[in-house]
Amino acid sequence: MQQVVLDASVILKWYLDFPEEKNREKSLLILEQHLERDIEINIPEFAYYETIHVLKFSKYKLGLFTIRKAVNSLYALKLNSFPFDKNLFLKSLDISFESDLSLYDSYYVALAFNLNCPLITSDGKILNRCSSLSKVPTSFETILLDRYEEGKNDDKIPF
């Protein structure tokens, strides 16, 4: 089974069914692949908090009932979540200082490094800033959500 790390920018699209949300269909394709056990989705445990935080403060003004439903459904998906880890935190700190990414974003990158699997994001800033990292594992790749297609490897963006 293929392993991937998703950041909150992809997970959010599962819950934001609005016309201006780009690439929602692709995020739902990833979710479907997870539910069919074609891929395993890995996230840092704080991704739950980050996702729900963004939903609460989104421009869409979602109500408490809707957000509580999102919390319940997110946990029901049984994503492979990793508890906060000191070594990954230190690695993400190094990545953050070198790339000027936030610690949140750097932690997703560090987790993908650690698991030796792709990071899928809809945030082009992560891709751009990771390209300047000096100590990137040769197998590391970031996949922008808008270029993601099921079963195609040529959409991957290796470093």
Taking only the tens place, the pLDDT of each residue in 87-142 is 999 999 999 999 999 999 999 999 999 999 999 999 989 988 887 777 666 556 88
pLDDT over 70 at 147, yes or no = yes
| pLDDT of res. 154 | 41
Output the pLDDT for position 155: 40
**Mean pLDDT, all residues of the chain:** 89
Total count of domains within the chain: 1
Q: Give the domain CATH number at 124.
A: 3.40.50.1010
Pairing of strands 2-6, 119-121: parallel
pTM: 0.87
| Upper half-sphere CA count for residue 92 (Cβ side, 13 Å) | 21
| Domain limits for position 83 | 2-158
| Bridging pattern class, strands 39-44 and 141-144 | unpaired
Are 125 and 102 spatial neighbours (Cβ–Cβ below 8 Å)? no
